[in-house]
Amino acid sequence: MAPTTEKRSKKRSAPAATGPKSKKVQLDTSERPVDKGKKRSRPVTLPVEEQDELGSEVSEEEEELGGALEEAGESSQAAKDAARVSHKEQKALQDQRKASKPHSALLAEAKRAWSLAHRKDISKDERTKHVHALMDIIRGQVKDIVLKHDASRIVQTVVKHGGQKERNEIALELKGKYKELAQNKYSKFLVTKLIRLCPSHRASILQEFNGSILRLLLHREATSVLADAFELYANAYERSLLLRDFYGKEATLFSLTAGSVEEKDRSKKGLKGLLEGADQERRRRLMKALKENIVTIFNNSDKGAVSHAIVHRALWEYLMAVNDLEDVAEAEKLRRELFETCQEDLAEMVHTKDGSRVVREFIAQGTAKDRKHIIKTIKPHVERMCKDDEAQLVLFSALDIIDDTKLTAKSLVSDITASASSLYTSPQGRRSLIYLVSPRTRRHFTPAQISLLAETDAVRAKTSKKDDQLRTEEIRKAASEPLLSWVAEKGAEIARDPGGSLVVGEIMLYAEGGTYHWSIHRANPHDQHIR
């Protein structure tokens, strides 16, 4: 009898009870334009979860849509007949109300074209065709419909995916209405997109805000428009247009920021350009107006404007003007008043270039009591500051300037070393660890960073009494024991990381404590590479 052969079934196994797996849609991204929008620097006082949500495209659309996403859900299959009839009646009533509103036919036609233009699974050529069709529908009517939440998104789609011709056309149509648009919950995103994508119209858009900059900074919706424009997209001349309101009405009415090249170059200097050639009385009036406007912003700190780079620039310009005063007593008085105004909000400022410089100047010029207050203010945010390029310079200046090394060791050094495991994985965090044992080393700090840190050296020589070398050695000694303990415990793991090996090398070369060198070898006798 011939041997029987088993035939293996080639059928697939039955699908699970939950149903077949959904297929993933393969999107053609080869020709799709990538929208690489910049993001503002974030205050170190914000929680990580809240920080990740700010400024994203998703959050913009969610804020515009509001509760519309919840209303768009599919109706339940098990709904009762009476509920269905009621729903149909409500739908008919809703359509009737929409039809009675102005531009209802235009919006209905635009929505049909928009539903095709903003799809993600179409080619670039096909999207361009739909965008041109959409532009033909809304051309000449943009100013009338842009304040509506659904129409605002339609116009944003044209600006985002259209060509420069369509963008400039929309920018011209909206001329004269940008201040109103910036204060609207939905159209504020369109203003930001036009500022970013229409550089030829940027100056004219920003000029429409003149005379209302301070009020817009304290406005819930408009504040983000000005903050993005100043920090991300404006050049030096365009920033001067936004800063001019800080200098008071006299500067707004009698200073020129447009015209000849010389006038524009002078306006780029900000307050320093205005004070050039001014008599003593005019200098006093301009500085007084700037100070009053800064105080107004900080007295309304709950509005969120104290964390914006434009406010920090105005603050830095005022502080530099105070330092240039010939009367030392008056300069000290004005500096003291400014510090008392913003001392509670210093942690909101360290994440920008000018804000970091202001805080470092306060540390250098302040008394022992002032420095202690600054340390107390920033202490809850030390770990986040270590990971920020600008904020960490404040920590480094505090280590370089403050004579009370017991205070800095207890409040700053201990927090930095305690966070070593989370810091060594990023370049900023590694610099924070290395600075404790080898400050301003050219192996890990660029000449630009060292130059920024050296800005306060001249003031430190006048306000700090302890020898610089002695202060550095005391900080290194305070940091050595916890850092060596950290390397002894996790040295093998850290050294396998390319960046971590640099930190381990600096600690082994410059940290003080021979006992720990031996304990590392005893704890890891086979890891000769970390010796």
379-397 per-position pLDDT tens digit = 999 999 999 999 999 999 9
Whole-angstrom Cα distance, residue 327 to residue 227? Answer: 35
The model's pLDDT over 357-367, given as tens digits with 9 standing for 90+, comes to 999 999 999 99
Whole-angstrom Cα distance, residue 523 to residue 116? Answer: 65
Q: Please name the helix (run of DSSP H) or strand (run of DSSP E) that holds residue 330, with its range, or none.
A: helix 328-342
Confidence class for position 322, pLDDT limits 50, 70, 90: very high
> What is the reported pLDDT for 101?
63
pLDDT at 256 over 70: no
> What is the reported pLDDT for 34?
45
No. of helices (H) and no. of strands (E), the chain: 34, 0
**Residue 128: Cβ-neighbour burial (10 angstroms; 0-12, 13-18, 19+):** middle
What is the pLDDT averaged over residues 271-281?
A: 85
Q: Could you tell me which of 383, 465, 471 has the C-alpha nearest to residue 419?
A: 383
Question: Rounded to whole angstroms, what are the CA distances from 391 to 41, 313, 380, 453?
Answer: 11, 16, 13, 12
What is the pLDDT averaged over residues 143-148?
A: 86
Whole-angstrom Cα distance, residue 383 to residue 90? Answer: 55
What is the pLDDT averaged over residues 170-178?
A: 95
Q: What percent of the chain has pLDDT over 70?
A: 80
Calculate the dihedral angle through the C-alpha atoms of 484, 489, 493, 495, rounding to the nearest 10 degrees. Answer: 20
pLDDT at 270 over 90: no
Q: Could you tell me which of 263, 255, 258, 321 has the C-alpha nearest to residue 294?
A: 321
Q: Could you tell me which of 287, 294, 289, 288 has the C-alpha nearest to residue 214?
A: 294
pLDDT at 66 over 90: no
> What is the reported pLDDT for 514?
53
> What is the reported pLDDT for 79?
58
Task: Of 6-10, 271-275, 288-292, give the lowest mean pLDDT range.
Answer: 6-10
Task: Of 326-335, 488-497, 522-531, give the lowest mean pLDDT range.
Answer: 522-531
For tokens 């396998």, the residue is 496
Q: Burial code of 185-224, b = ≥16 C-beta within 10 A, e = fewer?
A: ebbbbbbbbbbbbbeebbeebbbbbeebbbebbbbebbbb
Whole-angstrom Cα distance, residue 478 to residue 481? Answer: 7
For the chain, how far is it from start to end, CA to CA, in angstroms? 76
pLDDT at 215 over 90: yes
Q: What is the pTM of this model?
A: 0.81
Are the C-beta atoms of 283 and 318 separated by less than 8 Å? Answer: no
- Give the relative orientation of helices 261-268 and 236-243 as an angle to the nearest 10 degrees: 70
What is the pLDDT averaged over residues 103-108?
A: 80
pLDDT at 375 over 80: yes
Are the C-beta atoms of 462 and 396 separated by less than 8 Å? Answer: no
The model's pLDDT over 78-100, given as tens digits with 9 standing for 90+, comes to 556 777 777 777 877 776 665 55
